[in-house]
Structures are given as C-alpha cells and as structure tokens.
C-alpha cells in the first residue's frame, strides 16, 4: 500500500473511532475549522465587509478595538492594527481562546487580519 492510501485509511480510521466514541461533532468541527482557516488565509485585504462575511460567515462579535486573547507576544499585531486604520474588528472564534480577526476601515474594506491564541 502506498503513502496516500495509508493516510486516507488513517483518516478514515480516526474518524471511525471518534464516531464510535461519540465524538462525531469533533471530527466535523475539525474539518470545518480546516476549511475556515484555508479560506481565512486566502482572504485578500481590500475586499468589502460583504465579501468577508460571505467568505467566512457571520462573525461572533464586533469591537471598535483589537482585543486578542492575550496581548503578550502579539504586540506587533496591535501595532499593525493601529497602523492599518481599522475602525471595526470582526471576530471568529476558531478554538479555545483562539480567534481570527478582520479589521475594517471607515469604508468597510478589510485592511487588517490576524489569528491569535493563548
């Protein structure tokens, strides 16, 4: 058996074990978050708020300032956010104390994005 079939078999085995253990929601979440992260990574600055929401879904919250799960270690993100001119930040919870953030300017255009966690 080659490498690719072994990986597929392993993924199917893990999904099967998780489903048997009652963790089918976890497997679904893992696949959804992987898709979200890929879409987030491909999101281009300059797109409209409407395009951001169409791509990523409705954010869980909106804030006038950047508020990451922890400030230490993310000082450069705060500096980039300030320099971007963002006036509104959209937040998606991507895990326990993990967020993806898109900052919008006064014209509702994406001018900042980052991910952060603890």
pLDDT confidence tier of residue 118, bands split at 50, 70 and 90: confident
Tens of pLDDT, residue by residue over 82-117, are: 999 999 999 999 888 899 999 999 999 999 999 998
What fold is seen in the domain 44-118?
Beta-lactamase Inhibitory Protein; Chain:B, domain 1 (3.30.1450)
List the chain domain ranges.
Answer: 1-42, 44-118
38: number of CA atoms within 13 Å, CB side?
Answer: 6
> In whole angstroms, what is the distance from residue 57 CA to residue 48 CA?
13
Report DSSP state, residue 48. Answer: B
How many angstroms separate the CA atoms of 68 and 99, rounded?
7
The model's confidence at residue 33, banded by pLDDT at 50, 70 and 90, is low
What CA–CA distances, in Å, run from 19 to 11, 26, 27, 60, 105? 12, 9, 8, 28, 43
Q: What is the pLDDT of residues 40-63, one digit of tens each?
A: 999 999 999 999 999 999 999 999
Q: How far is CA 76 from the centre of its chain?
A: 18
Instruction: Give me the pLDDT at residue 99, please.
Output: 94
Distance CA 117, CA 107 (A): 28
DSSP label of 43: P
Under 8 Å between Cβ of 92 and 83: no
Report the pLDDT value the prediction gives residue 102, as an integer from 0 to 100.
Answer: 98
Does 16 score more than 80 pLDDT? no
């Amino acid at each position: 058996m080659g490498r690719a079939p072994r990986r597929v078999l392993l993924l199917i085995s893990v999904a099967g074990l998780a489903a048997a253990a009652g963790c089918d929601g976890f497997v679904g979440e893992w696949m959804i978050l992987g898709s979200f992260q890929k879409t987030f990574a491909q999101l281009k600055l300059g797109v409209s708020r409407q395009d951001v929401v169409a791509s990523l879904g409705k954010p869980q919250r909106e804030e006038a300032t950047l508020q990451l799960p922890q400030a230490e270690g993310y000082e450069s993100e705060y500096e980039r956010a300030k320099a971007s001119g963002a006036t509104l930040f959209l937040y998606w919870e991507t895990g326990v104390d993990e967020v993806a953030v898109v900052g919008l300017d006064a014209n509702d255009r994406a001018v900042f994005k980052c991910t952060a966690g603890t």
